[in-house]
Protein backbone atom coordinates (compact mmCIF):
# COMPACT_ATOMS: atom_id res chain seq x y z
CA UNK A 1 0.00 0.00 0.00
CA UNK A 2 1.47 3.33 -1.06
CA UNK A 3 0.55 6.38 0.96
CA UNK A 4 0.68 10.01 -0.06
CA UNK A 5 3.91 11.96 0.43
CA UNK A 6 3.62 15.41 1.98
CA UNK A 7 5.95 18.39 2.17
CA UNK A 8 6.49 19.11 5.84
CA UNK A 9 9.06 19.95 8.50
CA UNK A 10 11.70 17.37 9.44
CA UNK A 11 10.98 15.97 12.90
CA UNK A 12 14.67 15.87 13.77
CA UNK A 13 16.19 19.09 12.42
CA UNK A 14 13.17 21.28 11.63
CA UNK A 15 14.18 21.83 7.99
CA UNK A 16 12.03 21.25 4.92
CA UNK A 17 11.36 17.55 4.30
CA UNK A 18 9.01 15.05 2.76
CA UNK A 19 6.99 12.68 4.95
CA UNK A 20 4.66 9.74 4.48
CA UNK A 21 3.02 7.18 6.72
CA UNK A 22 4.37 3.61 6.77
CA UNK A 23 3.67 0.40 8.67
CA UNK A 24 -0.12 0.82 8.60
CA UNK A 25 0.22 4.42 9.87
CA UNK A 26 2.25 3.32 12.94
CA UNK A 27 5.42 5.03 11.64
CA UNK A 28 6.51 7.86 9.40
CA UNK A 29 9.22 7.93 6.77
CA UNK A 30 11.03 11.26 6.48
CA UNK A 31 13.24 12.34 3.59
CA UNK A 32 15.29 15.35 4.60
CA UNK A 33 18.15 17.00 2.68
CA UNK A 34 20.14 17.37 5.95
CA UNK A 35 19.23 14.18 7.87
CA UNK A 36 18.66 11.83 4.94
CA UNK A 37 15.99 9.13 5.08
CA UNK A 38 14.80 7.84 8.44
CA UNK A 39 11.74 6.14 9.85
CA UNK A 40 10.27 6.95 13.26
CA UNK A 41 7.42 5.34 15.16
CA UNK A 42 4.54 7.48 16.36
CA UNK A 43 5.25 6.39 19.94
CA UNK A 44 8.86 7.55 19.65
CA UNK A 45 7.71 10.88 18.21
CA UNK A 46 5.49 11.40 21.24
CA UNK A 47 8.37 10.76 23.61
CA UNK A 48 10.87 12.92 21.71
CA UNK A 49 8.86 16.08 21.15
CA UNK A 50 10.84 17.89 23.87
CA UNK A 51 14.21 16.17 23.46
CA UNK A 52 16.50 18.37 21.34
CA UNK A 53 19.67 16.51 22.37
CA UNK A 54 18.36 13.14 21.15
CA UNK A 55 17.04 14.76 17.96
CA UNK A 56 20.45 16.29 17.22
CA UNK A 57 22.25 12.95 17.74
CA UNK A 58 19.64 11.12 15.66
CA UNK A 59 19.94 13.67 12.86
CA UNK A 60 23.70 13.07 12.66
CA UNK A 61 23.27 9.29 12.83
CA UNK A 62 20.60 9.26 10.11
CA UNK A 63 22.73 11.47 7.85
CA UNK A 64 25.67 9.08 8.28
CA UNK A 65 23.76 6.17 6.67
CA UNK A 66 25.09 6.04 3.11
CA UNK A 67 24.07 2.48 2.14
CA UNK A 68 20.84 2.70 0.05
CA UNK A 69 19.76 -0.69 1.40
CA UNK A 70 19.80 0.58 5.01
CA UNK A 71 17.82 3.18 6.93
CA UNK A 72 17.98 4.80 10.37
CA UNK A 73 15.02 3.70 12.46
CA UNK A 74 13.79 5.32 15.69
CA UNK A 75 11.51 3.19 17.85
CA UNK A 76 10.55 2.39 21.44
CA UNK A 77 12.04 -0.76 23.00
CA UNK A 78 9.07 -2.83 24.18
CA UNK A 79 10.88 -4.22 27.22
CA UNK A 80 12.70 -1.18 28.60
CA UNK A 81 10.51 1.58 27.17
CA UNK A 82 13.64 3.41 25.97
CA UNK A 83 13.80 5.25 22.67
CA UNK A 84 16.26 3.50 20.34
CA UNK A 85 17.92 4.64 17.15
CA UNK A 86 19.42 1.91 14.99
CA UNK A 87 20.47 1.29 11.40
CA UNK A 88 18.39 -1.50 9.87
CA UNK A 89 17.83 -3.09 6.47
CA UNK A 90 15.40 -0.95 4.49
CA UNK A 91 12.04 -2.67 4.00
CA UNK A 92 10.57 -2.73 0.51
CA UNK A 93 7.85 -0.22 1.45
CA UNK A 94 10.59 2.32 2.26
CA UNK A 95 12.21 2.30 -1.16
Give domain status of residue 95, yes or no: no
Note the pTM of the prediction, 2 decimals. 0.91
Give domain status of residue 1, yes or no: no
Q: How many domains does the chain have?
A: 1
By CB atoms closer than 10 A (0-12, 13-18, 19+), residue 60 is middle
**Which residues in 8-47 are b (16+ Cβ under 10 Å) and which e?**
eebbbbeeebebbbbeeeebbbbebeebbbbbbbebbeee
Q: Where are the alpha helices (DSSP H) in 1-95?
A: 42-48, 52-63
Give domain status of residue 79, yes or no: yes
Tens-level pLDDT at each residue, the chain (95 residues): 557 899 999 999 999 999 999 999 999 999 999 999 999 999 999 999 889 999 999 999 999 999 999 999 999 999 999 999 999 999 888 88
**Which residues on neighbouring strands pair with residue 36, listed in sequence order?**
32
Amino acid sequence: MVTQTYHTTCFLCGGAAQERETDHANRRLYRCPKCGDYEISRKAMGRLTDSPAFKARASEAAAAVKDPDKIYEITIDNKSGDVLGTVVVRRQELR
